[in-house]
Amino acid sequence: MINLDYDTLQAELRSWVDECRPYSREGETAGYIPALGRVPGDILGAAVCDLKDRVVEAGDTGHKFTLQSISKIFSLILALEDCGPEIVFGRVGMEPTGDPFNSIAKLEFTRPSRPLNPMINAGAIMICDLVGGGTAGEKFRRIRDFVRRLSSNPHIDVDPEVYESEKSTGHRNRALAYFLKDTAGLKGDVEEILDIYFKQCSLQVSCRDLAYMGAVLANEGRLPSSGEPMINPFYCQTALAFMVTCGFYNGSGQLAVEVGVPAKSGVSGGILSSAPGRMGIGIIGPGLDLKGNSLAGRMLLARIAGDLNLSIFA
Ligand code: GLN
């Protein structure tokens, strides 16, 4: 497995998690979603999956958490498969914002008005509008089933507590969606689109699920277990590019410098990372930094990427 044999990697991963564990007490959980605020902040765990489908885990990998913004990668890929890049990138841009993930500021100043990229909340809400399906329920089920197939886990489903918590407190997302309806051609019913978004964010996963999905992205869109193609290789490349430029929002530059591996964070403290041609990595560390990315998770990813020479810029 990746420069190291299985047992050595297992031992290394354990020691990297132990080394980074003190940072897990420094972050804050995402209290603006009350159900996420109740999760202990000092959890830390990681799983890696290589392209031969071998998995190594260490730390608190029994802890399940919700995908949150990590889901934005998969709804984007589905929208690209359903509508093609011309339509998708007519509705959302391709540029990093330098702003927090839930910012509304640039929506008013961009002409024509459209979210700057699909990884910020406004962009991801627009993408939910573009995912194919006759009803909102069908659109969501297609996203969920896609995540199930990529992770080879048919049991993935919505965490009802987190979903209710997001839906009842998601005032900022509601504001973004209504603004998009008014200015940026959001076509569907606003509350129905928001429901798809809240549900995709509330899909419950494990580090292992993230590592599997990261490995598919690292494998040009093919399942490592069977080689079966799951994603058009160009859309896979597109997703990886967005992970590098926008995956950690206004912390993406720092991640590129310090880690150098495509990665997407969520406010649950999850990180999905994908080292092309090498491996997928799934991390959980619910304590967040000021930009809403897992604080200890980022340190751990830097440690893994550094020691295994994963940086795409190296
Ligand atoms: N559900 C979260 C929100 O809309 C997702 C944000 C995130 O993970 N960064 O605020």
Tens-place pLDDT, residues 66-115: 999 999 999 999 999 999 999 999 999 999 999 999 999 999 888 888 99
The answer to whether the predicted template modeling score (pTM) of the entire model surpasses 0.85 is: yes
**Ligand 1: distance of its center to the CA of 226 in Å?**
33
Domain that holds residue 76: 69-201
Tens-place pLDDT, residues 256-307: 999 999 999 999 999 999 999 999 999 999 999 999 999 999 999 999 999 9
Q: 211 and 99: one domain?
A: no
The token pair that represents 58 in the structure block: 């260490």
- The answer to whether position 313 is within a domain reads no
Q: 245 and 291: one domain?
A: yes
Residue 123 CB less than 6 A away from ligand 1? no
Q: 210 and 228: one domain?
A: yes
- The answer to whether position 314 is within a domain reads no
Q: 117 and 47: one domain?
A: no
Domains of the chain: total? 2
Amino acid found at 184:
A
pLDDT band, residue 5 (cuts 50/70/90) = confident
Q: Could you say which of 172, 201, 230 is where a domain stops? A: 201
Report the pLDDT value the prediction gives residue 111, as an integer from 0 to 100. 82
**Ligand 1: distance of its center to the CA of 194 in Å?**
12
The token pair that represents 194 in the structure block: 């928001």
Report the pLDDT value the prediction gives residue 110, as an integer from 0 to 100. 85
Tens-place pLDDT, residues 8-57: 999 999 999 999 999 999 999 999 999 999 999 999 999 999 999 999 99
**Ligand 1: distance of its center to the CA of 147 in Å?**
17
Residue 173 CB less than 6 A away from ligand 1? yes
Q: 162 and 117: one domain?
A: yes
For ligand 1, atom 2, the nearest C-alpha belongs to 68
Q: 115 and 192: one domain?
A: yes
Residue 2 has pLDDT above 70, yes or no: no
Phi-psi region of 127 (alpha: psi -120 to 50; beta: other; left: phi over 0): alpha
Q: 117 and 133: one domain?
A: yes
Q: 31 and 53: one domain?
A: yes
Residue 266 CB less than 6 A away from ligand 1? yes
pLDDT band, residue 138 (cuts 50/70/90) = very high
Report the pLDDT value the prediction gives residue 6, as an integer from 0 to 100. 86
Residue 132 has pLDDT above 50, yes or no: yes
Sign of the four-CA dihedral 134, 139, 140, 142: positive
Q: 168 and 105: one domain?
A: yes
- The answer to whether position 312 is within a domain reads no
Q: Could you say which of 174, 201, 228 is where a domain stops? A: 201
Least confident of 27-41, 104-118, 181-195, 211-225: 104-118
Residue 280 CB less than 6 A away from ligand 1? no
Q: Which atom of ligand 1 is nearest to the CA of 249?
A: 9
Q: What are phi and psi of 147, to 5 degrees?
A: -60, -40
184 vs 16, higher pLDDT: 16
Q: How far is CA 86 from CA 4, 33, 92, in A?
A: 42, 34, 10
Residue 289 CB less than 6 A away from ligand 1? no
Q: Which atom of ligand 1 is nearest to the CA of 102?
A: 10
186 vs 111, higher pLDDT: 186
Q: 144 and 193: one domain?
A: yes
- The answer to whether position 1 is within a domain reads no
CATH code at position 123 = 3.40.710.10
Q: Could you say which of 156, 185, 201 is where a domain stops? A: 201
**Ligand 1: distance of its center to the CA of 206 in Å?**
18
Catalytic residues: 69, 72, 197, 249, 267
Tell me which residue of 122, 124, 117 sits closest to 72, measured CA to CA.
124
Q: Which atom of ligand 1 is nearest to the CA of 173?
A: 4
Report the pLDDT value the prediction gives residue 1, as an integer from 0 to 100. 47
Q: 283 and 197: one domain?
A: no
- The answer to whether position 17 is within a domain reads yes
Q: 31 and 97: one domain?
A: no
Report the pLDDT value the prediction gives residue 113, as an integer from 0 to 100. 86
